[in-house]
Amino acid sequence: MKRIEAIPLRHARAPEADFLVIGSGVAGLRAAIELSRHGRVLMLTKGHPLESSSSYAQGGVAVALSEEDDVAIHLTDTLKAGHGLCRHEAVQVLVEEGPDRIQELIAWGARFDKIGGKFAFAREAAHSRSRILRARGDATGNEMVRVLMAQARRQKTIQWLPHHFTIELAVVERVCRGALVLDEVTGDRFVLPASAVLLATGGAGQVYARTTNPPSATGDGMAMAFRAGAILEDMEFVQFHPTALYLPSSPPFLLSEAIRGEGGQLRNIKGELFMRRYHPAGALAPRDIVARAIWSEMAATRSRHVYLDVTHLDPAFIKRRFPTIYSTCLRYDIDITEEWIPVSPSAHYMMGGVKTDTTGATSIPGLFAAGEVACSGVHGANRLASNSLLEGLVFGARAGLAATAFARRGAGSSLPLPSVRDLDEGPLGTLEDADKLRSSLRRLMWGKVGLVRTGSSLVSATAQLSRWARAVAQPFGTRRDLEVKNMVQVARCIAEAALWRENSVGAHYRADASELTRSGWSQHSRIEQETLVTGLGRLRTLRAEAGSRKG
């Protein structure tokens, strides 16, 4: 596909707007389209608007549209994957509104792959039906972003501010009134007012040394919401994708689960097929089980990777079905139709995030969140594959509607707008050795708060992270330093929550605790700033609430 050309910066300074949308992935774009029907929208992104996880999504989007499927089955599969920690009502919204959001996307021009004139529904792990729609084989996110971006650009009420990094949310008397923004080109900082702010800043995979996420996934939205006083929920639940390319010279490029859905097999370095020893569904077992099985095989064979094998499949089919994966691997001199592909797990998706209700409302009036930055409760302890693109569409639209209703009530309009000085207390600092801190943090998280954790690894990680948190407490003036600050704060929240949860559930695996050692395992972890800052102790840091055990 042709890349969409860069959107020009139309204003040297803040254009007037009713709504700020921070982030231009699937969730932000869908929210902006909704908001544009009700007022003027300013769409802010750091870097280029196409640089998001959404653009790289491969496998597809899960939706109950096939003849063999219905929303009740999609609901059951999602709840099962979430290990009792999904919010039933949020999952219901996702699966029931999903089909309309996809039909709407198709009406706007999305072209999902078909076979014989009918949509081709693929199978992925832990789905009991074939329900994954895809585009151009393995370029689903790219197609969805293309269509949403084009639709958004048709709306005259949406203005674009690319290369603008949001530093802080402007919260006055517990109401969100706008945001403090850095112009990445000039270094200017200014406050943008709004009647409501919609956070759609995506995930935080970059806090791990190995991640499928793009470099922009530094958890900024979670960190700024946390600093503003919002509640973060279920931060211990980080999904590790089982199969990312493992080559010393390449970033961990994702090898879609759909490859296993089409018959791809996993072999250890001795060439043995091992997945049946771990789960009856073999290579199509739930993602957390496959990732840990790979981890065990790597440990048992003292290897840094296992292999994904598609050499038994028809080469022409592989090239047609996975064109991006085929050509990317070829660039690294691996012809996947002839050779086994070295793979290992990588951090992939944040189930936790800024706590929202089913309308996208956070614990701060005027602040809404949607997509990967949010924790709406649809994923629980483990996300069902391909549910997040759908989540971005469904909850992006819902958050847009709720933000409109909030703005109409005019709840925050009489409150004063804080100045830059109010929001950035103290002189701007520069992080000594920011790159070194970033790299040390990523290695610490990978080693101690990764796929397999223990109480002692988490105690040592939280101690180091609180030392780093003190080192990044002041305001900074560059995107590089601000991202490292955000990464430290988000990493600390993940590690604290992981330490608090003393049982293994879903993607949170504690080698020192079995599934049921702790009664009340269906609780959600919650973390908010005051308790962390004042250091009131771990258990008071985290408040909990029973999760849904339906399904």
Q: Print the binding letters for residues 329-368 with ligand SIN: x by CB under 6 A, - otherwise.
A: ----------------------------------------
Residue 258 binds ligand SIN, judged by CB under 6 A: yes
Residue 490 binds ligand FAD, judged by CB under 6 A: no
| Neighbour-count burial of 285, counting CB atoms closer than 10 A to its CB (0-12 exposed, 13-18 middle, 19+ buried) | buried
Residue 53 binds ligand FAD, judged by CB under 6 A: yes
Closest residue to ligand SIN: CB criterion: 59
CA torsion, ordered 222, 224, 227, 232, to nearest 10 deg: -20
* Angle, CA 460 vertex, CA 455 and CA 466 arms, to 5°: 120
Q: Three-class SS of residue 34? A: helix
Please select the residue that binds ligand SIN; options are 135, 385, 490, 495, rule is CB under 6 A. Answer: 385
Q: State in angstroms the smallest separation of the CB of 225 from ligand SIN.
A: 23
Dihedral angle sign, alpha carbons of residues 398, 216, 418, 37 = negative
Residue 388 binds ligand FAD, judged by CB under 6 A: yes
Please select the residue that binds ligand FAD; options are 392, 400, 506, 547, rule is CB under 6 A. Answer: 392
227 is catalytic: no
Distance separating alpha carbons of residues 348 and 240, to the nearest angstrom = 5
Residue 529 binds ligand SIN, judged by CB under 6 A: no
Residue 239 binds ligand FAD, judged by CB under 6 A: no
Nearer to ligand SIN, 376 or 457 (CB): 376
Residue 372 binds ligand FAD, judged by CB under 6 A: yes
Residue 256 binds ligand SIN, judged by CB under 6 A: yes
The β-bridge relationship of strands 238-245 and 232-233 is unpaired
What would the two tokens of residue 379 be?
């994923």
Interface segment toward ligand FAD; rule CB under 6 A; list 87-95, 305-313, 370-378, 422-430: 370-378
Residue 376 binds ligand SIN, judged by CB under 6 A: no
Residue 389 binds ligand FAD, judged by CB under 6 A: yes
Residue 374 pairs in a beta bridge with 354
Please select the residue that binds ligand SIN; options are 211, 213, 268, 386, rule is CB under 6 A. Answer: 386
CA torsion, ordered 7, 8, 10, 11, to nearest 10 deg: 110
One of 101, 189, 287, 501 is an active-site residue; which one? 287
Distance separating alpha carbons of residues 146 and 140, to the nearest angstrom = 10
Q: State in angstroms the smallest separation of the CB of 343 from ligand FAD.
A: 14
Q: State in angstroms the smallest separation of the CB of 164 from ligand SIN.
A: 28
CA-wise closest residue to 551 among 393, 391, 381: 381
Residue 141 binds ligand FAD, judged by CB under 6 A: yes
Residue 27 binds ligand FAD, judged by CB under 6 A: yes
Matching residue, tokens 């600390």: 492
Instruction: Answer whether 202's CB lies under 8 Å from 28's CB.
Output: no
Interface segment toward ligand FAD; rule CB under 6 A; list 33-41, 88-96, 201-209, 271-279: 201-209
Side chain identity at 57, as an amino acid letter? A
Matching residue, tokens 């290992």: 344
Q: State in angstroms the smallest separation of the CB of 454 from ligand FAD.
A: 27
CA distances 36 to 319, 505, 513, Å, are: 40, 41, 49
Nearer to ligand FAD, 84 or 203 (CB): 203
Instruction: Answer whether 286's CB lies under 8 Å from 382's CB.
Output: yes
Closest residue to ligand FAD: CB criterion: 25
Binding-residue total with ligand SIN (CB under 6 A)? 8
Instruction: Give the phi and the psi of residue 373 in degrees, each rounded to 5.
Output: -65, -25
Distance separating alpha carbons of residues 338 and 61, to the nearest angstrom = 29
What would the two tokens of residue 487 be?
């990464």
Binding-residue total with ligand FAD (CB under 6 A)? 45
Stated as kind and residue range, the H or E segment containing 344 is: strand 341-350
CA distances 30 to 117, 133, 356, 418, Å, are: 28, 18, 17, 29
List the single partner that 266 binds among ligand SIN, ligand FAD, none, CB under 5 to 8 Å by kind.
none
Q: State in angstroms the smallest separation of the CB of 134 from ligand SIN.
A: 9
Point out which residues bind ligand FAD (CB under 6 A).
22-28, 44-47, 51-54, 56-61, 140-141, 165-166, 200-203, 212-213, 216-217, 220-221, 254, 349, 371-373, 386-389, 392
Catalytically active residues, by annotation? 287
Residues binding ligand SIN (CB under 6 A): 58-59, 256-258, 385-386, 388
